Structure 1
Amino acid sequence: MFTRRGFLQTLGGGFASFAALGSYAFAIEPLARLNIARYHLTPSGWTPGLKLRVVALADLHACEPWMSSRRIASICAQANDLGGDITVLLGDYASGMNLVTRYVHSSEWSKALATLKAPLGVHAIMGNHDWWEDRTAQRNGGGETFGHRALADVGIPVHSNRAIRLEKDGHGFWLAGLEDQLALLPGKKWGRRSMTGLDDLDGTLAQVRDNAPVILLAHEPDIFPEVPARVCLTMSGHTHGGQVRFAGLAPVVPSRFGDRYAYGHIVEEDRNLIVSGGLGCSIAPIRFGVPPEIVVVDLG
């Protein structure tokens, strides 16, 4: 028989479980966990004999107490220990939420990122929040954000619709970086009726001058259906893996494709996309089932 006492015990247990899950999602997974997500692949068109390790950091969303400059420096130290040939930064350095005790200035998070080291360098692209948080850049409708300038000031190149050729062990490859696909906000204040991207996929890939493999950095993964097979690997962030995932699925993903490009290694028509779960939080400081991560990709 289900008694009042039994009902209250069950109800109390439910509240306790809910509180425990909430505490984990709010205080433990976003702050105390850091995973290393590893992928090993040899895409079609990859040069035989070229072995390349790429270390990627995405979606820092620098703010206190969730992602302080001290924590960013600690993450960078762990990234350096992973033995990458090249380190890439996939955008969204600026905070994307108001539930903070302090916003971390671009001069602080860029100084922490300047501790990253890799034989073939550290390379960056911008994310939507880096544009959205810069009112001057919104008013100008382009140009540079404070993020562009902060990274340049510490010697980290930002690839804004630009491709460069790099080489390892005598084998060349191209690194191409897109400007953000959601850069400019709509509204009467800015004189725009809709969200406007500043990405130029065709113009960026037109800079590739030989048959060496191409790695494309694109903050939002939604560009992937347009990426030609000429690109061996596309690397993205933005989604945070949904930030909350149950049984491998996220109820809310900031993508017009829903969960299709939310997280992990996606293969479509022999083309490869890797989407990082990211490091920080946006909208709300909650993560559940998708802890912060550094991505390591071994190619070849």
Structure 2
Amino acid sequence: MLSRRSLLLAPMLATATGAYGVGIEPLLHTNVTRYLVRPASWPAGLKLKVAVIADVHACQPWMDIERIGQIVQLTNALGADLIVLLGDYVAGHNKITAIVPDHDWADALGNLRAPLGVYAILGNHDWWADKSAQSLRRGPIAARLALEKAGIPVLENDNIRLTKDGKDFWVAGLAEQEALLGYSSGRYVKRGIDDLEATLAAVPQDAPVVLLVHEPDIFPRVPERVSVTLAGHTHGGQVRLLGNALFAPSQLSLTYCYGHFFEGGRHLIVSGGLGCSWWPVRFGMPPEIVLVEIQGQVS
């Protein structure tokens, strides 16, 4: 039987936990989570550090320009060879005091610096927020234009060859898997503009490649020749109790909700991201920047 003291403390604890999840963890903590992966397809002697920023969801007061600037400084200080942005730059919920205009968050991210450059893909909220693109059923969307104006190339079903220590590798960016909203046969549907085959078509079969995707749902279709797939979107569940996510946008996103997955010789790393969607709360899943070190296998 619960004591009277327990009954009095329970609502106080619930209130304090809720206040932490809404007012502290989303705003103050930014972890750096590190992974080391050794894909079979990665060249011996090529060591690559990739910093990953996912799901910024710029808005006031939760992710204002000052906060984004702090994240940029922290990311730059990691000494990564390459920085990648995995989409969802715009607000993902309406529990905000003001939007952050596209050109403001893009200009802030434009201060990211890495020897091999900064590359971006787009997310579902970036597409959903662009009413003109939804009406026309095509891009380029406002988020892409803002990123490119800030000097950050955007990869949509496209790839680029980079070189480090005299060795080539490719970065490929998949277009959004849930870009367009609408109805089909009376059902609400989300239609993607992603084309995995086209994204990898120009990459030589035996070349090392890092694949950037927003949703991890595509992972079962990723061929083994892809060295590492980097994803965001899930926010790690955003609220985790006893290490378990309470919610994810889809069953596959729940399967690949957070962390490092290794299946059939393929590596997937899913970032917990930085911002919030649905509701401005994170609990047990602090905002994070991910640093991935990719090395060849030890013989």
Normalising by structure 2, we get a TM-score of: 0.95
Q: Pick the aligned partner of 1:259 from 244, 254, 257.
A: 254
Q: Pick the aligned partner of 2:116 from 90, 111, 120.
A: 120
Q: Pick the aligned partner of 1:281 from 273, 276, 289.
A: 276
How far has the Cα of 1:11 moved from its partner?
Answer: 1.5
- Structure 1: tracts of 5 or more residues without a match: none
My pick for the range that moved more, 256-265 or 12-21, is 256-265
Q: Pick the aligned partner of 2:146 from 125, 147, 150.
A: 150
CA contact (8 A) 1:185 1:192 kept: no
Q: Deviations over 1:187-211 (max 9, x none)?
A: 48xx996210000000111111352
> What is the number of equivalent residue pairs in this alignment?
294
Q: Aligned letter for 2:78? A: L
- State the partner residue of 1:106: 102
CA contact (8 A) 1:87 1:122 kept: yes
Q: Deviations over 1:91-146 (max 9, x none)?
A: 00010100000000001000100110000000000000000000001011112110
Structure 1 position 61 matched with structure 2 position 48: no
CA contact (8 A) 2:95 2:279 kept: yes
Q: Pick the aligned partner of 1:270 from 265, 274, 288.
A: 265
Structure 1 position 169 matched with structure 2 position 141: no
Q: Compared with structure 1, are the counterparts of its residues 128 and 258 closer, same or farther at alpha carbon in structure 2 (3 Å cutoff)?
A: closer
SS at match of 2:191: coil
Structure 1 position 293 matched with structure 2 position 293: no
How far has the Cα of 1:247 moved from its partner?
Answer: 1.7
Pairwise CA RMSD: 1.5
CA contact (8 A) 1:95 1:129 kept: yes
CA contact (8 A) 2:162 2:169 kept: yes
CA contact (8 A) 2:217 2:253 kept: no
Q: 2:226 & 2:253 partners in 1: Cα distance?
A: 23
CA contact (8 A) 2:215 2:253 kept: no
Q: Pick the aligned partner of 1:51 from 30, 47, 64.
A: 47
* Percent of pairs with identical residues: 52
How far has the Cα of 1:186 moved from its partner?
Answer: 1.5
Q: Aligned letter for 2:215? A: E
CA contact (8 A) 1:218 1:234 kept: yes
- Structure 2: tracts of 5 or more residues without a match: none
CA contact (8 A) 2:32 2:289 kept: yes
Q: Deviations over 1:229-257 (max 9, x none)?
A: 01000000000000001122112111222
Q: 1:42 & 1:156 partners in 2: Cα distance?
A: 28
Q: Compared with structure 1, are the counterparts of its residues 299 and 18 closer, same or farther at alpha carbon in structure 2 (3 Å cutoff)?
A: same
- State the partner residue of 1:199: 194
CA contact (8 A) 1:215 1:232 kept: yes
SS at match of 1:298: strand
Structure 1 position 22 matched with structure 2 position 51: no
Normalising by structure 1, we get a TM-score of: 0.95
Alignment of 1:224-235 (within 5 A): 224-235=219-230
SS at match of 1:186: strand
SS at match of 2:230: strand
Q: Deviations over 1:52-108 (max 9, x none)?
A: 000000000000000001110110000000000000000000101000000000010
